[in-house]
Amino acid sequence: MIRHTNGPPPPSPVTRSVRSGLGADTGHRAVMPPIHLSSNFLFDSPGVYGKYDYTRSGNPTRDLAATAIADLENGCGAVITSSGMSAILVVTRLLSAGDLLLAPRDCYGGSHRLFTAEAERGSYRVQFIDPTDPAVLSEARALRPRVVWLETPSNPLLRITDIAAWSRLSREIGAICVVDNTFLSPVNQRPLEHGADLVVHSTTKFLNGHSDVVGGAVVAADPDLLDEVAWWTNAAGVAGSPFDAYLTLRGTRTLHARSRIHEENALEVVAALERNDAVRRVYHPSRRDHPGHDTARRQQTGWGSLVSFELRGGREAVDAFVDGLDCFALAESLGGVESLVAHPATMTHASMDEQAQAAAGIGKGLLRLSVGIEAATDLVADLERGLCRVEAVACQLV
Ligand SMILES: *Cc1c(COP(=O)(O)O)cnc(C)c1O
C-alpha cells in the first residue's frame, strides 16, 4: 500500500470491506459494481484480447469478490470456487503421489471423505491426527508432511489448534500449512497473520452469510501458491459463477456488522445455557474452562457464534428440546443470518459409527447451534422454553 506522509490515515478493514469494488463500473458510473454474466469477451483481433476472454478463466464480477475476500484475510490474492469442497479439492492438487497430508481426525466430514478417497486411489497419502495435542506437534516433524491441514475451531466441539505453532513447524520442514477458516471468518481469525500459507473458506457460510449461495474461496499469502491454485481452478473448471460471486461480494459488505451481532447473541446464549440445569455442558471458546480458551484468546479476534452443548437425558431430551423451537431451524450448515440447530449424532456426523462418535466426544445429547442475528431476547426465550420441555420430560410431567 502507498503511504502518504501528509494524507489521511488508511481506511480500516471494516471500511474497506463495506466499500470494496465501489466505482468499478467505468461504463455507466454505477455506485455498486454491476454483475457480468457473459461467458465470453471480445477479442480485438485474432489472438489479441483484453483482461478477460472466457469466464471459466476470468470474470470481472468474480475478481471483485476475490479482491474483497483476499483483503479481509490479509492475503496477496484469492481464487473463488464453486463450493467449499472445490476450494479444498484445488488445494489438494498441490500434493503428488507419495506426498503426505496431515489432517485433523475431526475435520469437516466432506474433507475427511475426499482425503480418504484420494488416498485410497493413490493420489497422495493421508494421516489423521489430533493437532490440538502438543506431543503430536513434535512427532509431526519426523513424518515429513507436504501439507498440514488445520481447522480451528473444530466441529462440533470447537477444539482449538495453535495456528502459529503448526505454521512455524511447516515452514521449518518445507510443508504448506492450510487453514480451513470457515467457522470463524476473517473477522474473528486471520490465519495468514499467524504464518499459514493458505486459507480455505466455504463462502456458503459466514462470508456470504445469507444461506443462499454455495461457494468457496482459497486465499494465499504468496503469489506463487496463488498461481498454482488458480491454474488448477481453471484447468478443473471449478471457478465460482458470476452470479454467486455477486451475491457473495454483497454479503461480505455486511460481514463485520453481522459478526458483531452474531457474537453478542452467542454470548447471551452461552450464558443462558450455562445457568440451566437441563444442560450438562456448554462448549464455546469464550468459556474459561474451555481447553482451548487461552490459544483462542491469543489467535482469534472474536469468539465466533457456533455454540455446542450437551443436554442431560440423551435422545429423548433432544427430541423434546428441538420439537417446538421457533427461532432455531433444524438444519445443517451455519453462518447465515438465521439461527440453526443441528444434532451432530444423526445429522452432520451421521456417517461416523457409534464408536467413532463416542471417541470424538459426540454424545446423543449433543446439539450444535449456529446463532444468528435475530433479537437475543427471542433466541434466549426460545431456548429456555425448549429446556423447560426437557425438564418436563425428565419429570414425566408430559
Ligand atoms: C461447509 C463446510 C465445508 C464445505 O463447503 P461447501 O460450500 O458445503 O462445499 C468445508 N469446511 C467447513 C468447515 C465447512 O463448514
pLDDT digits (tens, 9 = 90+) for 371-380: 999 999 999 9
* pLDDT of 3: 55
SS3 391: helix
Q: How far is the CA of 82 from the centre of ligand 1 (A)?
A: 11
pLDDT digits (tens, 9 = 90+) for 202-245: 999 999 999 999 999 999 999 999 999 999 999 999 999 999 99
Nearest CA to ligand 1 atom 5: 84
Among residues 56, 168, 260, 280, the one annotated as catalytic is 56
User: What would the DSSP string read from start to end of 228-293?
Assistant: HHHHHHHHHT-BPPHHHHHHHHHHHTTHHHHHHHHHHHHHHHHHHHHT-TTEEEEE-TTSTTSTTH
Q: Could you give the CA distance from residue 143 to residue 281 in angstroms, rounded to a whole number? A: 36
* pLDDT of 397: 52
* pLDDT of 284: 98
User: What would the DSSP string read from start to end of 130-195?
Assistant: -TT-HHHHHHHHHH--SEEEEESS-TTT-----HHHHHHHHHHHTPEEEEE-TTTHHHH--GGGGT
Q: Which atom of ligand 1 is nearest to the CA of 88?
A: 10
SS3 33: coil
CB 276 within 8 A of CB 387: yes
Active site residue 108: yes
Is the bond leading into 156 cis (omega within 30 degrees of zero)? Answer: yes
Q: How far is the CA of 111 from the centre of ligand 1 (A)?
A: 8
Q: Could you give the CA distance from residue 279 to residue 282 in angstroms, rounded to a whole number? A: 7
* pLDDT of 275: 96
* pLDDT of 110: 93
Q: Which atom of ligand 1 is nearest to the CA of 151?
A: 13
Residues of the chain below pLDDT 50: 1, 398
Active site residue 364: no
Q: How far is the CA of 23 from the centre of ligand 1 (A)?
A: 32
Please give the model's pTM, rounded to 2 decimal places: 0.96
Active site residue 51: no
* pLDDT of 4: 56
In sequence order, what are the residues at sequence separation of 6 or more whose Cβ sits closer than 8 angstroms to the Cβ of residue 316? 393
CB 108 within 8 A of CB 83: no
Q: Which of 137, 139, 185, 143 is nearest to 161 (CA)?
A: 137
